[in-house]
Structure 1
Amino acid sequence: MRPLLLLFFLALTSSAAPRPNVVLVLADDQGWGETGYHGHPRLRTPVLDEMAASGLRFNRFYSAAPNCSPTRASILTGRHPNRSGVFAPNHSTRPEEITIAQILRRAGYRTGHFGKWHVGAVKAASPTNPAHMGYEEYLAHDNFFEMNPPLSRNGADPTIIQGESSQICVDAAVEFLRKVRVEGDAPFFVTLWFGSPHSPYSGLPDDVALYADEPGKDLRRRFAEITAMDRAIGRFREALREMGEADDTLLWYTSDNGVTIEGVPEDQRGGLFNGVWRGHKGDLYEGGLRVPAIIEWPAVVAEPRSTDVPAVTTDMFATLLGLLELRHPDPDRPLDGWDLSPVIRGEAVAERPSPIGFWRYDKASETGNERWMDAELTHGTTPTTRNPGIDFVNYKHPVAKTEDFGGVAAWTGNRYKLVRFGSKPPELYDLLADPAETTNLAAKQPERVRSMLQQLTDWQRSVEVSLTGADY
């Protein structure tokens, strides 16, 4: 019977419908309001505006954390970043984590990563470089980069590549796609993670000149980076069309956290725009977590649509597994994401089934850290153009105590959001009636607060179990 069963499964495999290509595009520090389609009064993003007008626009999309490395880990693993000790920027993910790139590669996808990595060192010896986490090719940087970036190709010593950084990433990604097509018809999975518009800011003179009326050079350069990134995304889309791949490529764009004030002097911050949202990068208020998000996939999203269903970067993993009909190799491993396939296919979905947990574990990220890997392997090899002396270091979490749930946490449902600052009284907001989070309802709705606080604590205990390594 074994040969017959083998032939049966081979027949199923050969007759299965071709799987779509997948490209995950990630901006670095681009806030919700920093697009034309979200109403920015001056910023020019014609490509993103076109995508929003023709694709699926998420009106309520969140980054899993209000800062960089944690959100990137959430996309790769479908788990809250604290489960693997990625509490804050420069915290490495763990080699034992299972990534979406690993799963798709085993399913026959060609995999490439281009741009910022920031969940471990990218050099060849690092156990958490893109190659070890599922990518066959990569051109990457450990952390942020700007014009003329020094980048590592497949773990080699970094070399400076002259030019605008977003376009460099796109050129490398397109080169990879053309190679994939020369070699066969396998689907491709690409993470295109830009270094823009993270500080320090720089821009092409023509792009900077577009914003001559802005109050200072830092803001002008920041906006120039966003416009250059927008243009690079447009050229990537053009390449997909030229290759005949656009219709069946799921192109998913978002950002890693809300708008930042880093690198923008106080006298220039009036030029920033983030809608009505309270707070900015680093906060668990909406301004630190709400990010732009669009899916362009003509074969499935044939008409422009938008959704108000809350979604988060952690959902991207589960969604791809659902859309591609793939199973997680470790079904017992806790995941925090929800499969958005019904939303993408246009089914009537009004709410997500469970709240989204956020947890910025400040105590873990700032004190008592121990190395997760050999000390040498935690150090990066890719300097920045303006600060070549920087040596990025990645950390492991300290010992977690079950009774210690310090830091800032939030529990965000379809309507209500609970925010808790350590031992201080929790705050409760009605995001539908009060999206700017101006009115704390905790005193008026104590039962709801107690219920949501218990749910949050139960979820944090689950995260703490993962921190101990129990999932491996």
Structure 2
Amino acid sequence: MNFNKLLIFNCILLFSVACKQEVEETKKEKPSVAPNVVFVLADQWRAQSIGYQGNKDVITPNLDSLAKESAVFHNAVTVMAVCAPWRGSFISGQYPLTHGVFYNDKPFPTEANTIAKIYKKAGYQTGYIGKWHLNGHKRGEEPFSARNKPVPKERRQGFDYWKVREVTHNYNDSFYFDEENQKQYWEGYDAFSQTDSAISYINKNKDNPFLLVLSWGPPHDPYHTAPEAYKKMYDASKISLRPNVPEAFADSARNVLANYYAHCTALDHSVGELLAAIDEAGIADNTIFVFTSEHGDMLMSKGALKKQRPYDESIKVPLLIRYPDKLGKVAHQIYDPINTPDLLPTLLGLSDLGIPETIEGTDFSKPLIDGDELGNEAALIMLPVPFHEWKFLNGGREFRGVRTKKYTYVKDLLGPWLLYDNELDPYQMHNLVDLPQFTQLKNHLDGVLMAKLKATNDEFLPADKYMTKWKYLYDRNDSIRKENYLELNR
């Protein structure tokens, strides 16, 4: 009897060991589930205009909640603070003078290696909804002529699901083109309808890995076109202003900000709907969710509107990355700067995909996973060619610079132009560049900048050199300038 019991026990033990080995072998053979990527892009939403960054006026409860379970980047810096160049750098991981889109409405290279091509090759479904702004017009065509035309299939850079308009700033009842280049219309405020389309796409693809980019037009001007319900949430007379808004512009600034914030709150509502849909689909833990913007908006700081300038209101954007499976669901505050070309390689790193040699940005996925700072001293900022609202006649100038965690340093073609201590002077009201006590700091930052330019093969030439190299034409009167325009802008 004891012998039989011992025999049975040994058999059970051997069976258990065999089962355990089989389970372990199955785990080894079973590939890890590829994460989904949902990339939400606003246009012209500056970092300073969001609740979790300390703004008491703007209403962004959904983004504030998202920040509590995301990597929060306090110094996300756009490499070039204008629409198409940012987009080219995001989808390629390259700097503007490499991919060639350093001026709006110029064609992004069809043959480029892009985010959708890379993820598609890895077995992902790919979708894009909203503003594109990378097709551009051909040399000699009327400026902006491509904005209302469909994007040919071969120019969609690997995206298959396609609900896209090249560019529009009419956010109410706007049209788009579908996969077959048929014109369709978004009902009402287009960001709401685009979000509904994104939710539909997520539900249809939740059982397979997918990459989805949702690209809204707002809060880019016109500022007054947000839905009325959101505009009624703001009283312009109660809006607080940044100290660097000149008193002469105070009333205008409050009115602009009230309307701008209305767009922000409307988009925040859409973020909430999108996050709820991801939760309901049961894929939140295995989804890399990114919220960011192309660039900021001066919004009357220093008496200016819009972008291209090297100031924080223009170059700093919100950036949140939530990925519970690898990053957990607690806030991770990151103060080291991250630059536009770094976004793609970092997403690839988080997705366990290889980084193609074409990519110039840095993969920061490891410090994110480890809960560390990035170890990155500076982000590059540039304007190779001034154009449109900051063309030469409006004071635009070529510049290169770096934004570190603490400092901003910028030079134009005449030499050092700006130096700010952003911790002591967060509104950048005191330019230190010509003060002798900061010479050592200026020289150090100049060395950091020169190293960045060398690494990216940037010779920092006058604007005309780049326009000639890429066979581009200036739009309308963008090229007009006085011979001494740099000295006049000092």
Q: Is structure 2 residue 285 aligned with structure 1 residue 247? A: yes
Q: Contact (CA 8 Å) 1:147, 1:162: kept in 2 or not?
A: yes
Q: Which residue of 1 aligns with 2:76?
A: 61
- Report the 3-state secondary structure (helix = DSSP H, G, I; strand = E; otherwise coil) of the residue aligned with 2:265: helix
Distance 2:433 2:72 in 1: 30
Q: Structure 1 residues 231, 325: CA separation in 2 closer, same or farther (over 3 Å shift)?
A: same
- Report the 3-state secondary structure (helix = DSSP H, G, I; strand = E; otherwise coil) of the residue aligned with 1:162: coil
Distance 1:350 1:245 in 2: 27
Superposition deviation, residue 125 in structure 1: 5.8
Q: Is structure 2 residue 461 aligned with structure 1 residue 461? A: no
Q: Is structure 2 residue 247 aligned with structure 1 residue 221? A: no
Q: Is structure 2 residue 378 aligned with structure 1 residue 355? A: yes
Distance 2:99 2:425 in 1: 34
- Report the 3-state secondary structure (helix = DSSP H, G, I; strand = E; otherwise coil) of the residue aligned with 2:289: strand
Q: Which residue of 1 aligns with 2:432?
A: 440
Q: Contact (CA 8 Å) 1:259, 1:281: kept in 2 or not?
A: yes
Distance 1:148 1:192 in 2: 18
- Report the 3-state secondary structure (helix = DSSP H, G, I; strand = E; otherwise coil) of the residue aligned with 2:130: strand
Q: Which residue of 2 aligns with 1:208?
A: 231
Superposition deviation, residue 207 in structure 1: 1.2
Q: Is structure 2 residue 176 aligned with structure 1 residue 151? A: yes
Residue by residue, what CA displacement relative to the aligned partner does 1:177-206 show, whole Å, maximum 9, x if unpaired?
A: 22224xxx3211111111111122312221
Q: Is structure 2 residue 401 aligned with structure 1 residue 410? A: yes
Instruction: State the AA in 2 paired with 1:63.
Output: T
Q: Is structure 2 residue 344 aligned with structure 1 residue 317? A: yes
Q: Structure 1 residues 415, 128: CA separation in 2 closer, same or farther (over 3 Å shift)?
A: farther
Q: Contact (CA 8 Å) 1:124, 1:154: kept in 2 or not?
A: no
Q: Which residue of 2 aligns with 1:232?
A: 270
Q: Is structure 2 residue 321 aligned with structure 1 residue 295? A: yes
Residue by residue, what CA displacement relative to the aligned partner does 1:138-184 show, whole Å, maximum 9, x if unpaired?
A: 11111133111111112514322222211111111111122224xxx
Residue by residue, what CA displacement relative to the aligned partner does 1:325-381 show, whole Å, maximum 9, x if unpaired?
A: 22244x2x3x331112123214333621x6322221116999xxxxxxxxxxxxxxx
Superposition deviation, residue 94 in structure 1: 0.9
Distance 2:187 2:27 in 1: 48
Q: Structure 1 residues 13, 180: CA separation in 2 closer, same or farther (over 3 Å shift)?
A: farther
- Of residues 205, 209, 212, the one that matches 1:180 is 205
Distance 1:47 1:136 in 2: 29
Which of 67-76 and 445-454 deviates more? 445-454
Distance 1:110 1:13 in 2: 26
Residue by residue, what CA displacement relative to the aligned partner does 1:293-330 show, whole Å, maximum 9, x if unpaired?
A: 1112222232222111111222111112212222244x
Instruction: State the AA in 2 paired with 1:167.
Output: F
Residue by residue, what CA displacement relative to the aligned partner does 1:102-154 show, whole Å, maximum 9, x if unpaired?
A: 10011011110111111115855636643xx0111111111133111111112
Q: Structure 1 residues 158, 126: CA separation in 2 closer, same or farther (over 3 Å shift)?
A: same
Q: Contact (CA 8 Å) 1:279, 1:287: kept in 2 or not?
A: no
Structure 1: 5+ residue stretches without partners = 1-10, 262-268, 367-405
**Higher helix residue share:** 2
Q: Which residue of 1 aligns with 2:309?
A: 283
Q: Show the 5 A alignment for 1:102-121.
A: 102-120=117-135
Which of 151-160 and 30-39 deviates more? 151-160
TM-score relative to the length of structure 2: 0.73
Distance 1:447 1:213 in 2: 44
- Report the 3-state secondary structure (helix = DSSP H, G, I; strand = E; otherwise coil) of the residue aligned with 1:228: helix
Q: Contact (CA 8 Å) 2:95, 2:456: kept in 1 or not?
A: no
Instruction: State the AA in 2 paired with 1:58.
Output: F
- Report the 3-state secondary structure (helix = DSSP H, G, I; strand = E; otherwise coil) of the residue aligned with 2:400: strand
- Report the 3-state secondary structure (helix = DSSP H, G, I; strand = E; otherwise coil) of the residue aligned with 1:159: strand
Q: Percent identity?
A: 25
Distance 1:450 1:197 in 2: 34
Instruction: State the AA in 1 paired with 2:273.
Output: R
Q: Contact (CA 8 Å) 1:309, 1:349: kept in 2 or not?
A: yes
Q: Which residue of 1 aligns with 2:416?
A: 425
Distance 1:464 1:424 in 2: 11
Q: Contact (CA 8 Å) 1:315, 1:340: kept in 2 or not?
A: yes
Q: Contact (CA 8 Å) 1:61, 1:293: kept in 2 or not?
A: yes
For this pair of structures, how many residues does the alignment match? 399
Distance 1:12 1:112 in 2: 31
- Report the 3-state secondary structure (helix = DSSP H, G, I; strand = E; otherwise coil) of the residue aligned with 1:37: helix
- Of residues 333, 336, 344, the one that matches 1:306 is 333
Q: Which residue of 2 aligns with 1:264?
A: none
Instruction: State the AA in 1 paired with 2:292.
Output: T
Q: Structure 1 residues 433, 339: CA separation in 2 closer, same or farther (over 3 Å shift)?
A: farther
Distance 2:315 2:78 in 1: 5
